Amino acid sequence: MTVSIVVVSHSAKIADGAVELAAQMAPDVVILPAGGTDDGRIGTSLEKVLAALEAASGQAAGAGAEGTVVLTDLGSAVMTAESALEFLENPEGVLLADAPLVEGLVAAAVAAQGGADVQAVRKAAEGVGIPAGQPAPAAGGTDHLESPTSAAPDFTGDFELVNQAGMHARPAAKVAGGLASLDAEVTINGVDGASMTGLMTLGAGKGTVLHVEAWGADAEKAVEYVGGLVEAGFGEP
């Protein structure tokens, strides 16, 4: 099983729609909406959030990555999500992500689909708020990594995009999702490789050469992973 995700929004429609969008990119991830109040108004509900968190941890129980990442929209959704953690018996595996709801959710869902752990899923969500060209903040306790901007990369590779559509959403999701689960900091043409939206901002079409630089224990694996996907055209024509 993968890390599960709960979406807390003031609007049931926003929560449902965001879940629908993310599920397209991450069919195996449990993503549950908690939008609106109990009686269908605009607002947030502790009961809805608690029910979603319990359902998420229940459905996601099993072997593999565990935990739940919570995405929220405006102010009081954050407060309701924080309050929900006070009511949980085991809040340890539940992390709140400080990220834009839609972009953060899609990035988190893709990372979860790729098998990333709960810290990496949150990091993927929070990474979307960072301007292109800067690496995402390291998840807690991984500051042993050299900063990609100051030290020479441990591994590099150059790969030419061969598929017709180039680096569009689905390939970006595959690249970012896989990299999020590796112990490596990766940049691709200067943007964070674990950030789906960062990769999409490259606007890289067919024939573009991707320069991959990687730091960390899984640096070699990371470069091979990107190379494999690019050379196979992401399984697309």
Partner 1 sequence: MVLDANWAVKWLTLCAQAMAEHRVELIELDRAIGDSDHGENMDRGFQAVLAKLGESTPETPGAALKMTAMTLMSKVGGAAGPLYGTAFLRAATALGDSAEIDASAWAGALAAARDGIVARGKAESGDKTMVDAWTPAVDAARAAADGGSTDVLGVLVAAAEAAEAGAVATDPMVARKGRASYLGERSAGHRDPGAASSALILRAAVGAAA
Catalytic (active site) residue 10: yes
Which range of residues in 33-41, 61-69, 129-137, 206-214 is near partner 1 by CB under 8 A? 33-41
| Nearer to partner 1 among residue 42 and residue 61 (C-beta) | 42
The residues near 168 (Cβ < 8 Å, ≥ 6 apart) are: 200
User: Three-class SS string for 175-205?
Assistant: HHHHHHCCCCEEEECCEECCCHHHHHHCCCC
Which range of residues in 26-34, 43-51, 130-138, 157-165 is near partner 1 by CB under 8 A? 43-51
**45-84 residues near partner 1, rule: CB under 8 A:** 45-48, 75-76, 79-80, 82-83
Task: Draw the binding track, 188-207, toward partner 1 (x: CB under 8 A; -: no contact).
Answer: --------------------
The residues near 48 (Cβ < 8 Å, ≥ 6 apart) are: 34, 35, 36, 37, 38
Which range of residues in 36-44, 55-63, 120-128, 141-149 is near partner 1 by CB under 8 A? 36-44
CB contact at 8 A, 61 and 43: no
Cα distances from 181 to residues 2, 24, 176, 206, 218, in angstroms, run 11, 20, 9, 27, 10
| Nearer to partner 1 among residue 76 and residue 208 (C-beta) | 76
Kindly list the catalytic residues: 10
Give the residues lining the site for partner 1 (CB under 8 A): 37-38, 41-48, 75-76, 79-80, 82-83, 86-87
